[in-house]
Structure 1
Amino acid sequence: MNYKLLFIPTLLFAMVIGFSSCQQDAFVPYEGDIIYVKSHPAKDYDIHDLFDVTNSKMGVDMEATLLPVLEAVNMDQIKVRMVPIDYKTVDPTGRERIASGIIIYPLNRKARGVIDVMPFGYLQNTLGGSDYGIGPEHALAFINYIVISPDFLDSGTSKRAHTDIPLGDDAPGNDIYHPFINMESSGRVAYDMHIAAEQYFRKELGMELPKKISIFGYSEGGTDAMALHRWIDRYDKSGIKIDNTFSGGGAHDLLAAFEVLRERKTQYYCVNPFIIYSIDFWDTSIALDYDKIFNPDGPLLDKDEPSYFRNLLNRGYGFWPTAKDYLGQDLTYYMNEAFFQEWNENNEFHKVLPYLKYNNCSADPEWKPTGTIHLFHAKSDKHIPDICSTSAYNALKIKGANVVYDLCSDFENAEDPHADGGVRFFISCAAYFALK
């Protein structure tokens, strides 16, 4: 499969302020309840299985780059076990949900530590770890670490059915849609996965996980890594200590990012429909008029081709891998002209401004970051503008956080700096953990 389709990142956001009163109840900090539900059949992997995954899922031959590192530290013979688990969490409206994720741990070595790995931004909801197995981001387990990786809502156990739904339906019944770049939901769901993993190890294996952890993520995963770091710092009472967080290519400042996209009028991947629908799905008060959101003469509102938008929304099997080729990079092709104008109160996009402003972890005045935060972004990123990480770095420095930032200029002239930068970031982090 093509890496640059499957390693689809996301400048996606969703819905936190202005929700119903139960939205506030959704994020009451965890107080020690048993939230681990059950495990599913395990599967074992060796390093060659990992290389097969990276080749098929990313189109990248990592054997040539990663194997020498593993051999140098005598880790090329490690075997790991992946265990999918179900656990209790909540969605953005406060309803209890059964979510899922995977735990990966070494079988023939003593683990060196714990890394919470946030999945890359796979727009298709069948590519979560519980369904698909290990992904490239889980290679850190082969460096002799326990990896904890949530599927997040609308993937794995909690994924919605592939059905057509009317445009504008708002969280109907028990239906679900992935809350993209929602720092409260992402932080809570990832945190609950970590707690459930602790409970799994205690109940099923008779082991206690160490409290000192690191966090890793790229693209949407980079944003989610920051959300988990913030959630632990603000709400954890179990004694978790964050050593390092590695956040690459994340959409940390959505407002600044959208200002760049409005001026640039291009984006490498088609993600705005996911953003808009995710907000409208969860916030029943927003009532977006899609004729004022998308180009009325464009393909997304084509009355003769209604399945395109709905299949895209459903994150299903047929449409999303070809969305980039079908819609292209020109935002004017499928976005309403109002997107490029001033977002005043008469502009439909004015309704999403609160979400853009709120979903910015580094701007949270109540967050005092612990540990060290490592930011990375490919300069001239055509998908998630590098202003996102630059803004986060500046805000974190003002907070007095221990933060380092690599604005990488090596891929400025590449076809897809975001994807190429992701490979560089991943390999650099793998080397760091291997040699630590």
Structure 2
Amino acid sequence: MILNINRKQLTLILLAFFFLVTSCKKSDSPVEPEITPARGQVVSSTFNGTFSIPLLQAMVSSISGGEQFKNKILYDVDYYKLVYRTADIKGNIIVVSGAVFLPKGKNNLSLVSVQHGTQTKRINVGSVNALNATDGLVAAALGYFAVVPDYIGLGESMLVHPYHISKSSADPIIDIIRAGKEFAGKNNITLNGQIFLAGYSEGGYVTMAAQREIEQNYKSEFQLTAVAPMAGAYDLNLSAKKIFQGKTYNQPAYLAYFMVAYNDVYGWNKLDAFFNSPYAEKLPALFNGSKTTTEINSELTNDLSKLLNQNFVNGYLNGTETTLTAAFSSNSLLDWKPTAPMHLYHGDADEYVPYENSVQAKNYFLTRGVNVELVTIPGGTHGSAALPSIVAAIEWFGTLKLAKHYLAKY
């Protein structure tokens, strides 16, 4: 029998058959529901190797003053890159990165988030190379589940880094703690519930910003065990005035980093009001994420009279330049009352971040009824006080683990 089917009928039959087949496929293999991006979600994790105890001891010994600390290394350390989600300054969900360090063979772990110091080159972070996060490596070698955020604008993030902007400094730390917990759960790693925060230099500022944000807005989600901000600029106007009153500053990249970040976040578009030519014109290209602070310093000058617009400096110091003063005030951190125990660490010969930041923080918190301890590194410069501060902080954390009976069974 020959069917007499015209082209229109054939088309309808084929469409019906296609619909039937594809419908069957969908019912046989249901499509996974799309996950709504949210802060703290893990995007990916990648195992990048293991650091042995001898290698870690050699690494610590190579750091100035590190020889005396090498025998404190207890564990081999597994190293992972972690990509996760946080929010930008406008609240948009973005992807950022960091590192996770695990003490090999140890469980029932306390979590510590370790915040790194100033970096301008996007790839000079822990997610790219573990040696860019030696403080996280050391923490894990001492027995902690350590997470080290790269921050917004570094690592995977291509935005301008919001240098010393308090909210955008705190959010990636809150979210890497969330992501770290998710990572631990998926990898059968037991965390004991303790959460510590520590950081040096910019990391000191970021650490205090994160504590403030957590205790003001996330205290039902996180109970911080102890916090150690180290050598941070907690009062930005105090820091700026101390620096501007001098004739030279040997880290001009730090000053420029502030202005580039604030110019971007607040949309000022007036770098030429802060800096003299030819430096003002250079800054956007210098801070595109491709250069180190050393390379940026070589393009600037440490002579502040040549680097900075003196009308701006004079106005700032005499109080008539209010825009930057107000922005620095809104991002300074001495306006709250800490709940978790806090120890401050700072070298009293710090040439880049004035030691007075920590003295003033201690005194301010005392007026709020909180006795924060300030551990001073006698004669410590910004560089030489770093390792003693970090080791001392981790050891202080260890006494709290003992006090709360959270030490793992070795």
Common fold, TM-score beyond 0.5? Answer: yes
Match of 1:343 among 308, 313, 316: 316
1:261 aligns with 2:243: yes
Shift, 1:434, TM fit: 5.8
CA contact (8 A) 1:111 1:144 kept: no
**Residue 213 of structure 2 is aligned to residue 231 of structure 1:** yes
- What's the offset of the Cα at 1:374? 0.5
Q: CA 1:240–1:310 in structure 2 vs 1: closer, same or farther (change >3 Å)?
A: closer
Q: Deviations over 1:224-257 (max 9, x none)?
A: 1111111211122554222221111100000111
- The C-alpha deviation readout for 1:153-211, integer Å capped at 9, x for no partner, is 111111x2xxxxxxxxxxxxxxx100011111111111011011111222x21345333
3-state SS of the aligned residue for 1:372?
coil
Match of 1:66 among 53, 65, 69: 69
Q: Does 1:129 align with 2:132?
A: no
Match of 2:274 in 1: 293
TM-score normalised by L of structure 1: 0.76
8 Å CA contact 1:111–1:146 kept in 2: the answer is no
Distance 2:360 2:226 in 1: 20
Q: Alpha-carbon deviation of 1:431?
A: 4.0
1:249 paired to 2:238: no
Distance 2:240 2:39 in 1: 39
Is the 8 Å Cα contact of residues 61 and 70 (structure 2) preserved in structure 1? Answer: no
Structure 2 partner of 1:117: 114
Q: Offset at 1:48?
A: 3.4
Encode CA deviations 1:342-396: one digit per residue, 9 max, x unaligned: 339996x5322222101122214xxx31221111222242211122112211221
| Unpaired stretches in structure 2, ≥5 consecutive residues | 1-37, 403-410
* Contact preservation (8 Å) 2:65, 2:387: no
Residue 377, structure 1, aligned to residue 380, structure 2: no
What's the counterpart of residue 154 of structure 1?
Answer: 153
Matches within 5 A, 1:415-434: 417-433=381-397
Distance 2:363 2:312 in 1: 27
Going from structure 1 to structure 2, the CA distance change for 1:256 and 1:344 (only over 3 Å counts) comes to closer
1:20-40, Cα deviation, whole Å (9 max, x unpaired): xxxxxxxxxxxx976222212
- Which residue of structure 2 lines up, in the alignment, with residue 323 of structure 1? 296
Q: CA deviation at 1:326?
A: 5.0
Q: Distance in 1 between matches of 2:289 and 2:59?
A: 22
Q: Which residue in the other structure is 1:145 paired with? A: 144
Question: 1:47 and 1:338, CA in 2 relative to 1: closer, same or farther beyond 3 A?
Answer: farther
Tell me, yes or no, if structure 1 residue 216 matches structure 2 residue 198.
yes
One-letter code of the match for 1:89? T
1:50 aligns with 2:56: yes
Question: Which of 326, 346, 360 is 1:354 aligned to?
Answer: 326
- Secondary structure of 2:127's partner? helix
Alpha-carbon distance in structure 2 between the residues aligned to 1:343 and 1:320: 25
Tell me, what secondary structure is at the counterpart of 1:42?
strand
1:314 aligns with 2:288: yes
Q: In 1, distance between residues paired with 2:226 and 2:305? A: 40
Is residue 344–residue 350 contact of structure 1 (8 Å, CA) maintained in 2? no
> Where does structure 1 lack aligned partners over 5 or more consecutive residues?
1-31, 161-175, 412-416
- More relative contact order, 1 or 2 (CA 8 Å, 6+ apart): 1
Give the CA deviation at 1:127: 1.1
Contact 1:183/1:224, CA 8 A, preserved across alignment: yes
Question: Within 2, Cα distance between the matches of 1:126 and 1:354?
Answer: 32
Query: Retained in 2: the 8 A contact 1:84–1:101?
Result: yes
Question: Size of the alignment, in residue pairs?
Answer: 361
What amino acid does structure 1 have at the position aligned with 2:273?
Answer: K
Determine helix, strand or coil for the equivalent of 1:140.
helix
Are the counterparts in 1 of residues 39 and 86 from structure 2 also a CA contact under 8 Å?
no
Cα distance in 2 for residues equivalent to 1:55 and 1:378? 21
